[in-house]
Amino acid sequence: MPNCRKNGTSNTTPPQNLLPPLRKPLMKVLLLTILCSLSYFLGSYKTQNFPPSISSSTTLLQDPNCLQTKNLSTHQKYPPQPLHYESQHTLSLPLHPPKTHNFSICPRNFTHYCPCQDPHRESQYSVERLLHRERHCPNDAEKLRCLVPKPQGYRRPVPWPKSRDYAWFNNVPFKRLTVSKKNWVRLEGDRLFFPGGGTSFPMGIKGYIDRLKKIVPLKSGTIRTVLDVASFGASLMDYKILTMSIAPRDIHEAQVQFALERGVPAMLGVLSMNRLPYPSRSFDMAHCSRCLVQWTAYDGLNLLEIDRVLHPGGFWVLSGPPIGWRVSYKGWERSAQDLEKNLARRLCWKKVREKGLFAVWQKPTNHVHCFQKLKALKSPKFCNEVDPDAAWYRKMDACITPLPKVVDIHDVSGGALEKWPKRLKSAPPRLNTATSEGTTTWTFDKDNIQWKQRVLYYDSVLKLFGGVRPSQLTPEHMI
């Protein structure tokens, strides 16, 4: 015990401020400096012995395909090289680029010039059977290479649907109809007004259609396309019915031009010697009001053409002459024998109704009964080995265009069409026949989707031009 107390109470005590070497600040700084120096020398050693690369070697830059850069080094800063947007293809350009042709403006008297309906050229043809009213186009040497000038004072057409009733006079400056047919068109200041009347429509076009819809199912969707040889097409659009008005260039000057200016589809044409430019079974209804066409002349050739373009079950509407001929045929300067022939019955058409100056026939849905009645009624013969869809510059045939064969007497030849608007997106039944080579139901559906996308795009673009909504479009391949 005494020894323990003596050792524990020794006078030799350690200093209080003695610290381990690693905890001194100076040692920390020295150690950090050594580590940094070691890291620097180690990194320099590895850089000098690393395989050649783009960052440290210039041997690869000898490749002519590489971008040449002087003194490339990881220790130098240099500005980025500019990007090159030139094409790298090797196609050689023509030595003499094609010249740009600038078309001149045609003379002022060519404002309403129509190449294939030139009055000077049609005077060279016979007036028999209206041959001079057919299309007579210029040859290559006669074709004009100039831009048709717009009429003086031309203005943007009246927007649809107001254009059904109004058009700017300066756009179609023809006064003759405003004098001779005031119930159809009038001149009010600088505008043409179309009141919807006329000789054929004593109660107005609205009253005329009210009578017609009691006989023909205008609202059912069965009728969508109409071939019109009159002027009531604009009013049928209220029933979602699309008309194609057709008329020749005649003394009335501008019936077709008036229709187009109003936004109604129309074209120059005549029932003469050539077929109408449409395939068979194209229209749900055909209409003629006081058109004075010689339907029974030339073996009924004109009415046979109407039969060709009508769908099975389609309607033929006729008002004015020759309906009611017993009362007024002398005023129409037509012979009683000419008007009395009932060619429609020999075409196997069924008369739906006749009242006053108004009559409606319906084409059969198939030709089963017609084959049986052919000899009894002394009807025209059926066409054999004739393409029913050939139209351009094809002579009309004095024979009945046969409808596709059916299995049952109640079937519709060629297949029944869907009602509108379902018909718009449904493939036509004729695509399943051999007459539609190159087009199938699959290609139709694909084309339908594609055009839907295009129309949406066109609509978005037109909004950039102040919401312009064109009422008529001409496909580029038709120009």
What CATH code would you report for 154-423?
A: 3.40.50.150
Mind giving me the DSSP string for 151-184? PTT--PPPPTTGGGTEEEGGGS---HHHHH-TTT
105-110 own/partner pairs: CB under 8 Å, 24+ apart: 105/146, 105/147, 105/149, 106/144, 106/146, 106/147, 106/148, 106/149, 107/149, 108/149, 108/152, 110/144, 110/146, 110/148, 110/149
Size of the chain in residues? 479
CA distances from 96 to 90, 91, 92, 462 (A): 18, 15, 12, 39
Rounded-to-integer distance, Cα 294 and Cα 135, Å: 20
- Check: pTM over 0.85? Answer yes or no: no
pLDDT score at 450:
93
Geometric angle at alpha carbon 66, from 65 and 67, rounded to 5°? 125
Domain boundaries, the chain: 101-149, 154-423
Rounded-to-integer distance, Cα 412 and Cα 272, Å: 30
pLDDT tens track of the chain, all 479 residues? 444 444 444 444 444 455 555 566 777 777 878 888 777 777 665 545 444 444 444 444 444 444 444 444 444 445 555 655 565 556 676 677 777 778 899 998 899 889 998 888 988 999 988 899 999 999 999 999 999 999 999 999 999 889 999 999 999 998 888 887 777 889 999 999 988 766 666 677 888 888 889 999 999 999 999 999 756 677 888 899 999 999 887 655 678 888 899 998 999 988 899 999 999 999 999 998 877 788 888 888 999 999 999 999 999 998 876 665 455 445 444 444 444 457 888 889 999 998 777 889 999 999 998 887 776 667 788 998 889 999 889 999 999 999 999 999 999 999 999 999 999 989 999 887 755 567 888 889 999 999 999 999 988 888 887 766 666 666 544 43
* pLDDT tens string 365-390: 999 988 877 766 677 889 988 899 99
Q: Pull the structure tokens for residue 184.
A: 């159809």
Rounded-to-integer distance, Cα 134 and Cα 28, Å: 109
CA torsion 408-414-416-418 (nearest 10°) is 160
Task: Check: CB of residue 236 under 8 Å from CB of residue 245.
Answer: no
pLDDT score at 23:
61
pLDDT score at 283:
97
The dihedral region occupied by 333, where left means phi > 0, alpha psi between -120 and 50, and beta the remainder, is left
pLDDT score at 22:
54
Burial of 418 (0-12, 13-18, 19+ CB in 10 A): middle
SS3 at position 362: strand
Rounded-to-integer distance, Cα 183 and Cα 189, Å: 17
pLDDT score at 431:
86
pLDDT score at 321:
65
SS3 at position 372: helix
pLDDT score at 69:
43
